[in-house]
Amino acid sequence: MKKAFALVILALIIVFGGIFGFKAFVNKKISEVMAHMPKPVVAVSATTARTELWHPHLQAITSLTAVQGVEITPQIAGDVTAIHFHSGQYVHAGTVLVEIDDSNQLAQLASDEAQLRLARINLRRTRALIATKAASQSQLDSAVALYQSDAAALKDIHATLNKLAIRAPFSGYLGIRQVNIGQYLTPGNQIVDLQSWNPLYANFTLPQSELHDIRVGMPVQVGTNAYPGQVFNGTVTALGASVNPTTRQIEAQAIIANPENRLRPGLFGELTVVRDTEEKVLTVPVSALSYNTFGNYVYVIKKETRDGKTVEVAHQQVIQTGKERNGQVSIVSGLKAGERVVTAGQVKLVDGSLVKISDEKDT
């Protein structure tokens, strides 16, 4: 029994050994054939890394706000009796927007005016009497005090009436109307928002490491996806008095010209502070970059001799990148000016691939 089992095991070893041996033999022959086959040449696009002069930029995310902007609200409660504006309308400073019921105040105004007239008459009479010594000084003092009190009451009712006629505090564009005729309003109820669109403030923050690179008066440029490809110019007008101890950021503000009223308060965009210096940077197109777990790299094209022929070979080269601008990226290390890099076709490449340049541009 044991002898039969051993024979079976031996037979299996011979069979499987033959199978694996045959596969190894086939793979070896295939490898030998592949080694002697010409390597494929990959068509790629390329460009040359070169040195450029860049104005150093400071970039930040910004939010636009109105230099003058306010939510119009009543100061005194009452029913809306008249509305004198339309949503989206441009109004001048002082324009009456909404009237609130002032019937009680008008009645009080008539009463206060009558009281003031009487107080004025009594004051004149008392002054005439005191000239003939028919009235005392205390009577004159009382008449003066009463006149001044009635005059103050009249000013107070005029102030109340002015508050019931709600006016635009400055010229600008109105938003969407939030009230209707007959609606009862209380202080704080929103009537409409009023915004001045030209100019606008651009508020942004910068890390403390860039504090020495920014100052009041520097030019800025703002871009927003509301107007792709367009730039709006402005100037830095203020820097924060301190650095935020939590974020280590400093607040800054710029004023942006908006003569065509295209921008709106609340827009989100990218702001660039343009410094007045230049620096040399080595650049390549952003399209030349590839990424893996070890970082950024490019394929550098080099000429080599293989089998007596001069060929162009793409080699992976790890680089350290800097800032991006207009489709170009600055190279901090890992590349030299004049080296050619692949800009299209990298997906077909591995380190050491033969390449044929089908399109080469001088950036």
Give 220-248 as a DSSP string.
Answer: EEEE-TTSTT--EEEEEEEEEEEE-TTT-
- 285-300 core/surface letters (b: 16 or more CB in 10 A; e: else): bebbbeeeeeebbbbb
For domain 58-67+195-274, the CATH class is mainly beta
Residues of the chain with pLDDT under 70: 1-8, 10-13, 15-22, 24-39, 359-363
* Residue corresponding to tokens 């800097």: 322
**Amino acid (one-letter) located at 236:** V
Q: What is the pLDDT of residues 260-310, one digit of tens each?
A: 889 999 899 999 888 777 778 888 898 888 887 778 888 888 888 877 788
Q: Rounded to the nearest 10 degrees, how much is the dihedral formed by the CA atoms of 236, 242, 247, 248?
A: 90
Q: What is the pLDDT of residues 298-321, one digit of tens each?
A: 888 888 887 778 888 888 888 888
pLDDT at 8: 61
Measured at the alpha carbon of residue 111, what is the angle toward residues 108 and 116, in degrees to the nearest 5?
120
Same-fold call for 38-54+280-361 versus 58-67+195-274: no
Which option is the CATH number for 74-190: 2.30.33.40, 1.10.287.950, 1.10.287.470, 3.30.230.70? 1.10.287.470
Query: What are the boundaries of each domain within the chain?
Result: 38-54+280-361, 58-67+195-274, 74-190
Give 248-280 as a DSSP string.
Answer: -EEEEEEEE--TT----TT-EEEEEEE-S--EE
Closest to 331 measured CA to CA, from 320, 315, 318, 316? 320
pLDDT at 34: 46
pLDDT at 184: 93
Q: Are 192 and 126 in contact (CB under 8 A)?
A: no
User: How high is the mean pLDDT of the chain?
Assistant: 84
Cis peptide before 74 (omega within 30 of 0): no
pLDDT at 33: 47
38-54+280-361: CATH topology: 2.40.420
Number of residues in the chain: 363
Secondary structure (3-state) at 309: strand
Counting beta carbons within 10 angstroms of the beta carbon of residue 187, is it exposed (0 to 12), middle (13 to 18) or buried (19 or more)?
exposed
**Amino acid (one-letter) located at 111:** S
**Rounded distance, CA 288 to CA 45, Å?**
10
From residue 234, give the alpha-carbon distance in Å to each of 158, 253, 256: 43, 10, 4
Strand extents, DSSP E, 4-84: 41-48, 50-54, 57-66, 69-72, 78-83
Q: What is the pLDDT of residues 9-37, one digit of tens each?
A: 766 667 666 666 667 665 665 555 444 54
pTM above 0.95, yes or no: no
